[in-house]
Amino acid sequence: MRILLIGASGHVGRAAQDALAERHEVIAVSRSTAPAVDTTDEASIEALFAEVGEVDAVIVAVGSVPFKPVEELTRDDYRAAFLGKVLSQLDVVRIGTPFVRDGGSFTLTTGILAREPIATGAAASMANGAVESFVIGAAPELPRGIRINAISPTVLAEATGYHDAFPGFAPVASDVVGLAFVRAVEGVGTGRVLALD
């Protein structure tokens, strides 16, 4: 398969690349690669697909959200979470669908905060939940047999800088996250949220 991986420089993106690169052609892109992409910019996404052309699968492992106590979150914070985690991924699906071959797939990325709270995580919870609901709602309507799923991991074992923010959460190993991407890309399911708690 020819797989476009957006967000290759992060922990989750690297896990997906490591799991898929031996058997597939993985085109790994981020803000700092060539080609580069900024998923908060429609024109950048359009330019990426125009350059890459047809693919069998698209993985999106991006998303930034503000972490603040809920009483400090502003309208702009919620807007930033929506743009950085939700609209960025939905735009990849919207713009990229014509470039995905029949029977291909999209795999988006959310996280455990859609299901479990942490301090300062309300905006992230909102964004993750929105992406997961979109996956469920969009799956029956995508054309030409294109599938869509989401990978929703807890904190990664290798992302030690985040462990203190997730007290009592058992971290998940990157290879387990990678296998979930394999399942989403190479499997047959659609409209699924693959939770790795």
For residue 51, the model assigns a pLDDT of: 98
* Alpha helices in 6-121, H assignment, sequence order: 11-20, 42-52, 75-81, 88-96
For residue 128, the model assigns a pLDDT of: 98
Determine contact, residues 125/132, Cβ cutoff 8 Å.
Answer: no
For residue 144, the model assigns a pLDDT of: 98
In terms of Cβ atoms closer than 10 Å to its own Cβ (0-12, 13-18, 19+), residue 182 is middle
For residue 107, the model assigns a pLDDT of: 98
Residue with tokens 């999106």: 60
Whether the ω angle into residue 35 lies within 30 degrees of 0, i.e. cis, is: yes
pLDDT truncated to tens, each residue of the chain (197 aa)? 999 999 998 999 999 999 999 999 999 999 999 999 999 999 999 999 999 999 999 999 999 999 999 999 999 999 999 999 999 999 999 999 999 999 999 999 999 999 999 999 999 999 999 999 999 999 999 999 999 999 999 999 999 999 999 999 999 999 999 999 999 999 999 999 999 98
Q: Dihedral of the CA atoms 177, 181, 186, 192 (nearest 10)?
A: 100
The whole-angstrom separation of Cα 160 and Cα 64 is: 18
Domains and CATH numbers, the chain: 2-196 (3.40.50.720)
For residue 106, the model assigns a pLDDT of: 98
